[in-house]
Structure 1
Amino acid sequence: MINISSLSITPEILLLVSKIDEFKGAWRTLGTLAPERLSALRRVATIESIGSSTRIEGSRLSDREIERLLSGLEINAFATRDEQEVAGYAEVMETIFTAWPEIAITENHIKQLHGNLLRHSEKDDWHRGSYKTASNSVAAFDPTGRQIATVFETASPFDTPRLMAELVTWYNDTIREHTLHPLLAIGILVVVFLEIHPFQDGNGRLSRILTTLVLLRAGYAYVPYSSLESIIEHGKEGYYLALRQTQATIRSDAPDWTPWLRYFLGALHRQVRHLEDKIEREKLLLAKLPELSIRIIDHIRRHGRITIAEAVTVTGANRNTLKPHFRALVERSLVVLHGSGRGAWYSLS
């Protein structure tokens, strides 16, 4: 069974859990944007998630290419493996978003999700929806899709059914009995799933789909509106390092869960921060601010301050174009002017 006797709840982990749960509670208020704006946010996040998750595994399709592909998703034949993977990922994500209350965490459902994920992948016909029958390992890829390293070895095909049964039982018992905070239980579910690597292919993509599913089932309703996969893609080195550090210890007497939980919770917190920024941007749009003014505020939110010279670099607009925007933002009490002359700078009010 899963050994959590050595689990150490550090102050950093506690703080991250607290911040994520704080946003979870606030989402009921934050998530009251107009339905069409929420729908737009979800579509953008979905495209980012599909693109990032498939690129992590070696796909070369850009988000723009994926958006064009998804606009014609009624097509049932896809020319390349990358397109096949994107189509499968998109369909499974839509299933998760619309039917998550009915998708309990069982081995059968996990196998069904895997089968649907690879539904369009011709070369995966022989194994989709079934546990692996040959040894596999986790590889890292460079931006061109070339494999550059083996990240870690995985469970044997013989051990896989037993280990998956143990993992699913442990997770459901833990959630039902409230013996561990859901975010910690989810983090352990994901890292052990990846350590087992139960399917011949598609484990990385499926792990990220499962993450979305279990977060939604645990009440984190904001998840579809901000891409966790994008955050993982932009921090792949930390992702693989945390996996290696924890997975090398999972079958020992004292598993070290901390490296992975620190990374996983940090990624979830960045997901929350990105969504907070998007919500603030939507509020500014509702306030009918010009795009240039919104870009100025976006920069201040990310960096704490801005000068007109910095705004010229960030926006590409000249000083004479920018000055009326700054004056209007100050007059509307959205930003505060500090100092004067060339040393002047602006912060959020």
Structure 2
Amino acid sequence: MIEFPPQISQEEYLKVLLTDPLEKLKAIIEKNNDKYSYWSDVKYQKAPEGISSKELWCYIKASRRAKRIIVWKKYGISISITNAMQRMCHEFDMNFGGSWGSNSIIPAENKEQYLISSLMEEAISSSQMEGAATTRKVAKEMLRKSLSPQDKSQQMIFNNYQTIRFITQNIHTPLSSELLQQIHVLMTEKTLENPADAGAYRTNDEVVVEDAITHEVVHTPPSYKDIPSFIEDLCIFFNESDSKVFIHPIIRGIIIHFMIAYMHPFVDGNGRTARALFYWYMLKSGYWLTEYLSISRVIAKSKKSYENAYLYTEADEKDMGYFIAYNLRVLELAFKELQTYIKRKLDQKHQASVFYKLDNINERQADILRLINDNPKILFTVKELQNRFSITHTTAKNDIDGLVERKLVDEISLNKVKKGYVKGELFDKTVKSIT
């Protein structure tokens, strides 16, 4: 469990508000606000002489309170927008939307291929966070080859993938209670203990959020009786960007993510649904690059920090700044991972270019040959190639038949109907002749 921050009286707040902090103390406050440090990090810091840990915390809290905006009045949930948050949102505006990124980040000729891979990564990671035990390799093979899910873990990943695809096809559809329930059905089909819970709002207060290790209750959602009015408010918040107080769209998306998890409107699957709604809101708001980011993969790598961001918010006067700051860092890391991924793919494309020395070889066929060269035991199906390159069945079959004809690939029977494709008898000799 986390350590709760010390209680600060109104007199203590008033004292620091009437005191002009030293320049050195101002720098410490700014640094902690940039990171949105919690009490457990602040209390061990070295403050200027004569300033206790509690007084330093009081200065930090006072600076946050001065910028506080109430975002969900009924539950007293607020945010404090820091300079660091505004800088990051500006950078994301430059990189995630408009034409800048489209011309510089994603190579136009490979956009669809990158997109399919990114959607798979997002579906796999989001499901693994909720307990799906299938490996990435097995999960990607299932999705690429359009295989039927074999267990609950694979079903979770399949559902997540289908939900993301559904969202991308309905970006501009207004959110409604019915649509939210439909998304939950898509996300949880065949994975809940009680199938009737799919798409159904909870009807009791028996749901609590526990620590996975200690099983201590870390969050008790508001009453189920609040759910109808909450959903109505959520749809308004999601569909209407106009308000008396401007909130940056990225931060609004993170608020939506938090509020679904906070309210817990469904018996199970709230985390997956919350992340899907954030993804949807980002795309709806014009941040097209979100579709290529594996946000859940970054969250999965720092799951404890993700959980703590919720806990810190609840423990510290329902200040959602912790959750905002964490998710902005996640977006930043996801963008860097995308850049690394694209560089790797461009390097692979360069490696495949050696096969262009062969007559009448197209780009996809060159990439197939590169994959075989990298992994001589690899086995393809036409369906897998169709999904990998986002092409029609006819195009995929023509590509592979051309390689079979040249004996660079061999066709084998997987069953009475299905065919597979492996390294051909002339592959090694051909590669040797061009390298």
Same fold (TM over 0.5): yes
1:164 is aligned to 231
* Other-structure match for 2:186: 116
Partners in 1 of 2:88 and 2:170 — Cα distance? Answer: 28
The Cα offsets for residues 285-323 of structure 1, whole Å up to 9 and x where unpaired, read as: 5556999xxxxxxxxxxxxxxxxxxxxxxxxxxxxxxxx
Residue number in structure 1 paired with 2:170: 99
Equivalent-residue separation in structure 1 for 2:229 and 2:215 (angstroms) = 31
Quote how far apart the aligned CAs of 1:124 are: 4.0
| Partner residue, 2:103 | 29
| Paired residue type of 1:41 | Y
Partner in structure 2 of residue 220 of structure 1: 287
Equivalent pairs, count: 279
Determine if the alignment matches structure 1 residue 127 to structure 2 residue 197.
Answer: yes
Q: Residue 207 of structure 1 aligns with which residue?
A: 274
Q: Is the 8 A contact 2:77 2:319 kept in 1?
A: no
TM-score (norm 2): 0.58
Please say which of residues 127-136 and 277-286 is displaced more in the overlay.
Answer: 277-286
Task: Indicate yes or no: 2:191 matched with 1:84.
Answer: no
Paired residue for 1:54? 127
Q: Distance in 2 between matches of 1:200 and 1:119?
A: 13
Alpha carbons of 1:18 and 1:129: their partners in 2 closer, same or farther (altered >3 Å)?
A: same
Matching residue of 1:237: 304
Distance between the aligned counterparts of 1:141 and 1:113, measured in 2? 26
Query: Does the C-alpha gap of structure 1 residues 265 and 121 become closer, same or farther in structure 2, counting only changes over 3 Å?
Result: same
* Cα separation, partners in 2 of 1:178 and 1:287, compared to 1, 3 Å: farther
The CA distance in 1 between the partners of 2:260 and 2:229, in whole Å, is 12
In the alignment, the residues of structure 2 paired with residue 114 and residue 73 of structure 1 have an alpha-carbon distance, to the nearest angstrom, of 22
Find the structure with the greater CA-based Rg. Answer: 2
Q: Deviation at 1:74?
A: 5.8
> Structure 1 residues 232 and 107, CA, compared in 2 at 3 Å: closer, same or farther?
same
The Cα of 1:221 is off from its aligned counterpart by: 0.5
**Pairwise CA distance, 1:175:** 5.0
The whole-number CA distance in structure 2 between the counterparts of 1:243 and 1:6 is 13
State how far apart, in whole Å, the 1-side matches of 2:101 and 2:244 are.
26
Partner of 1:274: 337
1:198 correspondence with 2:265? yes
1-structure distance, mates of 2:78, 2:107:
43
Q: Give the CA RMSD over aligned residues.
A: 2.8
The answer for the alignment partner of 1:180 in structure 2 is 247
- How many angstroms does 1:112 deviate by? 0.8
Report if aligned partners of 1:114, 1:202 keep a CA contact under 8 Å in 2: yes
Quote the Cα distance in structure 1 between the aligned partners of 2:244 and 2:175. 15
Could you report, residue by residue, the CA deviation over 1:236-269 in whole angstroms, capped at 9, with x for unpaired residues? 01100001112456xxxx6412101100111111
**Residue identity opposite 2:116 in structure 1:** R
Gaps of 5+ in 1: 292-349
**Structure 2: which amino acid aligns with 1:199?**
F
Structure 1 Cα separation of the partners of residues 318 and 252 of structure 2: 14
